[in-house]
Structure 1
Amino acid sequence: MSGFFSKERITAGPNYNRWLIPPAALSVHLCIGQAYAFSVFNEPLTRVIGIQEALPEDWKLTTIGWIFSLAIVFLGLSAAFAGKWLEKVGPRMTMFTAACCFGGGLLISAIGVELHQIWLIYLGYGVVGGCGLGLGYVSPVSTLIKWFPDRRGMATGMAIMGFGGGAMIGSPLSVALMNFFSSDTSTGVAQTFAVMGTLYFISMVIGSLAIRIPAENWKPAGWVPSEKPKKMVTQHHVHIDEALKTPQFYLLWVILCFNVTAGIGILGQASVMIQEMFKGGISPEAAAGFVGLLSLFNMAGRFIWSSASDYIGRQNTYFVFFALGALFYSLLPSLGQQGNVVLFIAASAVIMSMYGGGFATIPAYLADIFGTKFVGGIHGRLLTAWATAGILGPVLVNYIREYQIEQGMAKADAYNFTLYIMACLLVVGFICNLLMREVHPKHHLKADTAGNGQ
């Protein structure tokens, strides 16, 4: 069995069509992107016993909220700790393991709902499923970078756009399945988990079977690496463990963390925020449309910004993210006070496009700085910044807002201070990006030779 999953077994021949790789990556990322749609289960899970309405013995919303948080934490942890293993065994084994974890996690969660044991859902979706998220997130990305050395940003954007768009499939599918399975004795959540776990497992396994890696020193037909390397694009490679000894890794960690913290702060409270900042002017239905628009810009930004980074450079792309982001965050309170809904929505949409673009551009940035050989493992370790931001962003927004309201501040003004903090975080990110330099040669692999494509 190990031979079937080995890197030698999936090394492509010289005439293999590299454009077959993005669909394999998307078959995984569109599945694990369901995590962004988990909130559709929150309300039905609060009435698993009551069915029509929540009873005292039903789970509270605060209890259920930990399911998603655990999944994101274990996404970051699994991606970080499995980095070396990914580079050793290759993407097929890693993607197959991700399929087992994510699909299996949903099946364990289905049992947890049926038995009304919250710890089983924490274990299933949070821990086991979260590990599937982390492994499934990093493995196709590193493979795409190696297949598209000429278009690294576009390649990573294609896959990570799929993660952002997974909710657009997962959300309506979840609702449709719950409606189909719901009855007088069931909310349909357990059956929905079971069906989705099976479907996602099949799709992710197909992706793992279709994935291929290029042969050593492979290059796209007609592509010749520039004899004069671009600034901030290395022709060498840095080992995973060695990358942790460089200041560049920690600068990129802060860059990703603060970009995500700022974006997730808006994304997590978008509906409530726009209704409270424009009191009486925005209906719940319009607020839901605002959230949908932000999701579209989040997804589109992953492909558009990462593709643009192939032309303007990764460092310049992040300069745009931080400069525009700081400006727009600073403007949002004024736009709210002026009642300018159109500009408020437009600024928020651009912010969300850069939030998604930051996710998609960071793997190519890592490949530029550390080389492509160990980029999957390095990317995995950097994703601990995402796990940190997933806690930091909501905490900044929710707790500061709550404190200010308790002090007598109007709800419409309670977000202003937080938005200014987000702008300051982006200024810090701008400075970290400004400090980025090429890695010192002492960190390069000793066996490196210039121009090695692997």
Structure 2
Amino acid sequence: MIHLSPTAPGLLARERTIAPPGYHRWLVPPAALAVHLCIGMAYGFSVFWLPLSHAVGITQAVACPREYGLLDELFATGCDWKISTLGWMYTLFFVFLGTSAALWGGWVERVGPRRTGVVAACCWCGGLLISALGVYLHQIWLLWLGSGVIGGVGLGLGYISPVSTLIKWFPDRRGMATGMAIMGFGGGAMIGAPLADQLMKFYATPTSVGVWETFVTLAVVYFVFMMAGAFGYRVPAANWRPEGWVPPAAADNAMITQGHVHLDVAWRTPQFWLVWAVLCLNVTAGIGILGMASPLLQEVFGGRLIGLDLGFGELSPAQKGQIAAVAAGFTGLLSLFNIGGRFFWASLSDRIGRKATYAIFFLLGLVLYASVPWAAGTGHLALFVAIFCVVLSMYGGGFAAVPAYLADMFGTRMVGAIHGRVLTAWATAGVLGPVLVNYIREYQLDHGVPRAEAYSVTMYVLAGLLALGLGCNALITSVAKKHHMSPEELAEEKKGADDTHQHFVADVAALRQEVGQSWKVALAWAAVWIPIGWGVWMTAQKAVLLFR
């Protein structure tokens, strides 16, 4: 009989996640991708809005009485929800993602990625189950509570759980490593949206639109993937470094610090708030475009999308349905560039530096946003689409490069917690971007501006935001050494898991072990690339409609 010591660390303890000698670091990114591909479905939740908007009427929406206010709609069971009411889920996602990442970032650093990943899985998948109950009982407050609030907490914890770990495993390729993981968040909707669409069709009956059943199915599938990812996380042993890698020499003016800044100090530095502003401005512009991509293309090009010289308002309902299918291809293409940009730009930042990469985002973005009205006026669809594809690649790249930017300036010791605080910029942008874009558009339309021209002022405003971002990025400098933790403070912080096991890896032995584990790496990557490949194929089929 085996007797466990009462002081033995639990299964979710950080001590249990320290990698043994010879552990293959390329097993960690697939684990991160498994988690991010699941929570990334938050971007694809709009696939549920139309079915939920006639969940009571099934074939036709049953409108609520005119005298109903918001409080009445929260508990009404006899009438259908408006899409605008359902859309509040996006705001809840972004607000609670940023808030939870900021509040519990320090806890994530203390307990490690495995426990954080398990909690994230329980929140995100449990939230889907509560949402399923909300659909079944037709109580929208349960959807907001389930997926919006509880699921939003799962989003925040799941999003930051692998960041610090990956940066420590890949000190030689910080941008690429975080880009691979955060690429999954952008790709979650590419897989989840078509999967959900097929599930809803499968479950639909004369008395159900199939949404609550789809929520339950997704919750089960996602829970399996997220738990596999959480238990696949490993943290490197103290003093570990990649075979043959030598840290860059310290320099007084270098952006990459050799020290570590404590969370409580980092957020009080001007560099923290400048990076916060850089992320917020980049995301505000990008998320505004992402949210209006489909109507923008339809209203700007109208009948030209299907070979007719007609404006949007002149089209019949059937013709509008045709151009909506084309616009879905446009949205899918933007998703591909959003995903690819996360890996491409983050990897490029390893070569040219994070500050230079963000300078490209803002300079090139400013030119492209300002060029949109001109591109629309020329009527060249391919040029118009190309501009937005590049813009969305930089939107994704901004998310992927920011953890490495923070690690460069504040060190790797508490980068996960610092990243969590910075993500409040995303929560802010998630509200600011869509509100700014939608209200400018409505103002233009109310004042008689043609639909095809209603987005011109919006693009110039977004270009102005990018100009502000360029200025903030230019002001970022290295963090003063006085803010670095002293050797004594660093030693105190390292007490616990990192020092519990001294698994310093001998380079030769580690290399031999890595070769021996190559089949595990192939299997782990296959587990995430198969669903990604399916999502790319489904998206490519829709994107082809753009250029028929």
Q: Which TM bucket (shorter chain)?
A: over 0.9
- Whether 1:270 aligns to 2:293 is yes
Q: Kindly, what percent of the aligned residue pairs are identical?
A: 59
Q: Who is 1:40 aligned against?
A: 47
Please give the alpha-carbon distance, in whole angstroms, between the structure 1 residues aligned to 2:201 and 2:454: 37
Task: Measure, in 2, the Cα distance between the counterparts of 1:338 and 1:194.
Answer: 47
Decide which of 344, 348, 359 is 2:388's aligned counterpart: 348
Q: How does 1:2-401 map to 2 (within 5 A)?
A: 3-56=10-63, 57-229=79-251, 231-282=254-305, 283-401=323-441
User: Secondary structure of the equivalent of 1:47?
Assistant: coil
* Structure 2 residues not aligned, in runs of 5+: 1-7, 64-78, 306-322, 499-548
Pair member with larger Rg: 2
Partner Cα separation in structure 2 for residue 2 and residue 48 of structure 1: 48
Inter-partner Cα distance in structure 2 for 1:162 and 1:430:
27
* Contact 1:237–1:448 under 8 Å retained in 2: no
Q: Over residues 296-351 of structure 1, what are the superposed CA-to-partner deviations in whole Å (9 max), with x where a residue is unaligned? A: 11100000000010001000000110000000111111111222222111111111
Structure 1 residues 144-203: Cα deviation after superposition (integer angstroms, max 9, x where no partner)? 111000000000010011111111110111011111111011111111101111111111
* Counterpart for residue 531 of structure 2: none
- Which amino acid letter does the alignment assign opposite residue 299 of structure 1? I
CA contact (8 A) 1:275 1:281 kept: no
Aligned counterpart, 2:313: none
- The structural deviation recorded for 1:2 is 6.2
| Distance in 1 between residues matched to 2:325 and 2:221, nearest whole Å | 31
1:47 and 1:12 mapped to 2: Cα distance? 51
Q: Distance in 1 between matches of 2:95 and 2:161?
A: 18
Q: Deviations over 1:26-71 (max 9, x none)?
A: 1100100111110000011111111122112111112111122212
- Look up the equivalent residue of 2:474 and give its one-letter code: L
**How far is the alpha carbon of 1:448 from its aligned partner?**
7.3
Q: TM-score normalized by structure 2?
A: 0.81
Contact map agreement 2:9 2:15 (CA 8 A) in 1? no
**1 CA distance for matches of 2:278 and 2:136?**
42
Does the 8 A contact of 1:109 with 1:120 survive in 2? Answer: yes
- Superposed CA offset, 1:374-396 (max 9, x none): 01011111111111111111111
Alpha-carbon RMSD? 1.7
- Asked if the contact 2:190/2:332 (under 8 Å) is kept, the reply is no
Q: Secondary structure at the match of 1:373?
A: coil
Q: Is the 8 A contact 2:266 2:410 kept in 1?
A: yes
In 2: Cα distance, 1:436 partner to 1:267 partner: 28
| 1:183 aligned counterpart, secondary structure | coil
Any idea what SS the aligned residue of 2:449 has?
coil
Deviation at 1:284, TM superposition (A): 2.4
Alignment partners' CA distance in 1, 2:328 and 2:193:
13
Q: CA deviation at 1:263?
A: 0.8
The correspondence for 2:465, drawn from 425, 431, 443, is 425
Q: Secondary structure at the match of 2:477?
A: coil
Contact residue 250 and residue 258 of structure 2 kept, 8 A: no
Distance in structure 2 (CA, Å) of the matches to 1:2 and 1:344: 57
Which deviations, in whole Å up to 9, do the C-alpha atoms of 1:95-120 show, x marking residues without a partner? 00000000100001111111111111
